[in-house]
Structures are given as structure tokens and as C-alpha cells.
């Protein structure tokens, strides 16, 4: 089971009580269907199928704005929902697919990446060591 959870092409059925398992052929697959119960699952966000909504719109609708207000984002690779619970480090690692990324821009920030360049103090236009600078930076970008 743990081996399946680490496979970015694998999804579990969302129907309570069903132990169905699905594997897509490609990462850009939109929908998978449980072979046991027939439940349609959005491959991208691992939730029930939501044909006319984006994953973000579906999550926001389900949680009535809670996700947006609390900064829930999706892993850039496997689309697992991730919540940053404090103003700590912006280097993130997905618990499902182990992809390492920047919380600000969602760009790769693993060991071989030069994303957090300590000589410049900046990553993707925002300070890597300060959350407040990022808020100011994004507000400036919104005004442009």
C-alpha cells in the first residue's frame, strides 16, 4: 500500500468504504474510474469528479472559502492538497510524491536546484527568509 501511495500515477477511490485502486497512464489525465464501484475521481486533485469546476474552484466550494483563506495549495506534481501552517520555511516537500518546491512560486527547489540562492537573498522575486516581504511583493504585482 505504501508503495502505491508513492506512485504519482496512482489514485485511491474516494467512495467511503471502497478500497478501489486506479492507475492513470499519464500525469495530465483528467478523470479515472474506480473498477470496483464505478466512482469517478478527478486524477488531478484526488477528489470526486467535478467536470465543470477547476480543482481550485471545487476545493473552495467544498470548503466554503476555508481553503483559500488558509492558503491551501496543490503540489505541482501530484496535486495533493497542502496547507502551510505557519510562516516558517518556504521550501516544501510533498508527503505523497516527495517533490520539493517553493511555496511562493511552486518551482522546483530540491537539492540540485539553485532556487534559494543564498548569495542573493531572493527566490522568484520574493525574499526566501521573510513571509511579509512576499505579501508586499504580491500586492505590488497585483497593482501592476
- Rounded CA-CA distance 108/91 in Å is 9
pLDDT tens digits, one per residue of 15-58: 999 999 999 999 889 999 999 999 999 999 889 999 999 988 88
Alpha carbon distance 58, 63 (integer Å):
9
pLDDT at 4 > cutoff 50: yes
Q: What cell was used for 2?
A: 505504501
Q: How far apart are CA 122 and CA 128, in angstroms?
A: 6
pLDDT, tens only, 110-144 = 765 566 555 444 555 554 444 433 344 444 444 44
The answer to whether 30 touches 38, Cβ cutoff 8 Å, is no
Q: Bridge partners of 10? A: 23
Q: Which three cell numbers stand for residue 15?
A: 467512495
Q: Whole-structure pTM over 0.75, yes or no?
A: no
Amino acid at each position: 500500500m505504501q508503495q502505491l501511495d508513492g506512485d504519482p500515477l496512482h489514485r485511491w477511490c474516494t467512495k467511503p468504504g471502497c478500497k478501489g485502486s486506479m492507475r492513470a497512464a499519464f500525469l495530465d489525465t483528467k478523470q479515472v474510474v474506480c473498477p470496483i464501484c464505478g466512482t469517478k475521481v478527478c486524477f488531478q486533485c484526488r477528489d470526486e469528479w467535478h467536470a465543470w469546476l477547476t480543482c481550485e474552484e471545487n476545493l473552495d466550494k467544498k470548503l466554503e472559502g476555508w481553503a483559500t483563506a488558509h492558503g491551501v495549495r496543490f503540489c505541482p506534481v501530484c496535486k495533493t492538497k497542502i496547507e502551510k501552517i505557519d510562516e516558517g520555511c518556504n521550501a516544501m516537500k510533498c508527503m505523497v510524491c516527495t517533490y520539493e518546491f517553493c511555496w511562493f512560486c511552486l518551482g522546483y527547489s530540491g537539492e540540485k536546484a539553485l532556487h534559494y540562492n543564498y548569495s542573493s537573498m531572493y527566490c522568484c522575486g520574493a525574499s526566501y527568509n521573510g513571509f511579509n516581504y512576499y505579501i508586499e511583493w504580491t500586492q505590488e504585482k497585483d497593482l501592476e
